[in-house]
Structure 1
């Protein structure tokens, strides 16, 4: 075979290999999103924006606020949510996973939202990575502008999408990650614990959070579902939480919930300690009728409301 023919055949084989190899890596954004190989992605601090998505990513960054669909008192559809919808229609699964590493928090969170909306099979890896970061994002929903952790924004996007929260497998994975964190965010832990009733090994982990960390959400959960099993530990730790907490730092709702859980013991000694706490910590003044009502319901009438 002439030398030039061999050379030509070699070129054709190389071109064919490159074409087929690139084609196999193409992901149709309209197909169902399952787990894709993200080896190496977690080790990258920030990924570059895919060239074909640069325009829409730049539009998101220009506004630089994680806007929900409707904002302002008039309920107008937000511009950045429109950008989010374009991203949702345009980006492939692999591109979205890459964009969750984007240095801009709004781009990273919107990309994670798309994956959440499409029930991406490895959402837990994105969520775990977000939890390990300290990044927050400015958010605009309705009339409220706030700042929140990107992991919480991802979790609540998926959580709001799900009707059967008790049995959804992806949500179970996210909740498991939350439960086994060293210091879980109180709201994420609250969500995880209200989603379902837990058995071993989760119940053991919840008891560790309750009694080793004096975690209020874990204490409330066990007091609701496993009071008989942990009666003495719950009584001691809930009283400890009541005494040690300055409720101006945690809020009136937390104060009321703590009092409510302790009153469920129907113990005169505990009731006296509640009254003593309320004489010192007067943050209940922000909602006095609510506290008066629950104390009256439990027969605590000797509290001199007019004197404090």
Structure 2
């Protein structure tokens, strides 16, 4: 009987210790306050509890070891965004279908929350919706690369694009993004327009992204998928919208660069004239992408403003 009670006591104590240890790790993750990748250090400096004061990668790795999948799922709804995004990323990597990823991405888009991040020596602040979206985007690509061709980047890229085009969930998320009347992080549109063709009912939304937000990825998509209509779309954009566009934020500057690159690669004389005039009469692009414009446009095509 004594042994029986001793076993019960040890079990209760162990469960209490487990719960405390888990909460301690979560508290440390919140304190460090950064969504960190592995920093490449083989023997990281950790405290006596095996936790880090400056890299949450190690803290979440330890949390995973003592948490069930159900517990990780509960953490994907945690009020702290760092804890929440670590859990979401882990569930994505596990192909956990109980995760309503479409809703999670769309909710994150609505909230526009920004969190500290680090990857290697790069320290930044990123939008949570972009982090979650790219977690899944990378997951889709990674699953397709299990039989990738060594040192054959061209075939690998074809394989990646096929996987992205065949993923139903990613396409559903992209459709919801393209329906929104707002200008999200430019890289999201680059990913979304890797899909070769959407339903025609999105055509007006995509034209709207071009006309209202100067979305260069929408421009290229429309040129590729609606060749018969593209002349009118092109004239509508450059005659009514491009002239008054200010290109005064990071997104807009990336779109301007992509339009410039397209004009020179496709030897579009009309576009080149309009865009070079825009570059002469605006300055914001010089603050963000002057080096890229210099190397990839001005020097490559012997252009002088």
TM-score, with structure 2 as normaliser:
0.67
Counterpart for residue 117 of structure 2: 139
Partner-residue secondary structure (3-state), 2:164: coil
Change (3 A) 1:141 1:295: same
Between the aligned partners of 1:209 and 1:248, the Cα distance in structure 2 is: 16
Instruction: Spell out, residue by residue over 1:27-86, the C-alpha distance to the aligned partner (whole angstroms, 9 max, x if none).
Output: xxxxxxxxxxxxxxxxxxxxxxx8784233123123221001226xx6876842122223
Q: Which structure 2 residue ranges, 5 or more long, are not aligned? A: 1-18, 45-51, 142-162
Deviation at 1:131, TM superposition (A): 2.0
Find 1:86's aligned residue among 59, 62, 65.
62
Instruction: Spell out, residue by residue over 1:253-304, the C-alpha distance to the aligned partner (whole angstroms, 9 max, x if none).
Output: 54332123345775654443334333323637533343235656xxxxxx6x
1:158 maps onto 2:136 in alignment: yes
Contact 1:100 / 1:107 at 8 angstroms: preserved in 2? yes
Change (3 A) 1:51 1:216: farther
Between the aligned partners of 1:66 and 1:125, the Cα distance in structure 2 is: 21
Find 1:96's aligned residue among 65, 72, 77.
72
Contact 2:216 / 2:258 at 8 angstroms: preserved in 1? no
1:288 maps onto 2:294 in alignment: yes
Counterpart for residue 183 of structure 1: 182
1:1-308 paired onto structure 2 within 5 Å: 53-70=22-39, 79-121=55-97, 122-163=100-141, 164-185=163-184, 186-211=186-211, 213-238=213-238, 240-241=241-242, 244-246=245-247, 249-250=250-251, 253-263=254-264, 268-281=269-282, 283=286, 286=291, 287-292=293-298, 295=301, 305=304
Deviation at 1:144, TM superposition (A): 0.7
Between the aligned partners of 2:133 and 2:290, the Cα distance in structure 1 is: 34
Between the aligned partners of 1:270 and 1:201, the Cα distance in structure 2 is: 28
Counterpart for residue 26 of structure 1: none
Change (3 A) 1:87 1:61: same
Between the aligned partners of 2:243 and 2:138, the Cα distance in structure 1 is: 32
TM-score, with structure 1 as normaliser:
0.67
Deviation at 1:171, TM superposition (A): 1.8
For the pair shown, which has the larger CA radius of gyration, 1 or 2? 1
Partner-residue secondary structure (3-state), 2:228: coil
Deviation at 1:139, TM superposition (A): 0.1
Q: Of Structure 1 and Structure 2, which has the larger fraction of its residues in helix? A: 2
Between the aligned partners of 1:217 and 1:56, the Cα distance in structure 2 is: 42
Contact 2:246 / 2:282 at 8 angstroms: preserved in 1? no
Partner-residue secondary structure (3-state), 1:230: helix
Question: For this pair of structures, how many residues does the alignment match?
Answer: 248
Change (3 A) 1:253 1:212: closer
Contact 2:32 / 2:56 at 8 angstroms: preserved in 1? yes
Cα RMSD over matched residues?
3.3
Between the aligned partners of 1:202 and 1:218, the Cα distance in structure 2 is: 11
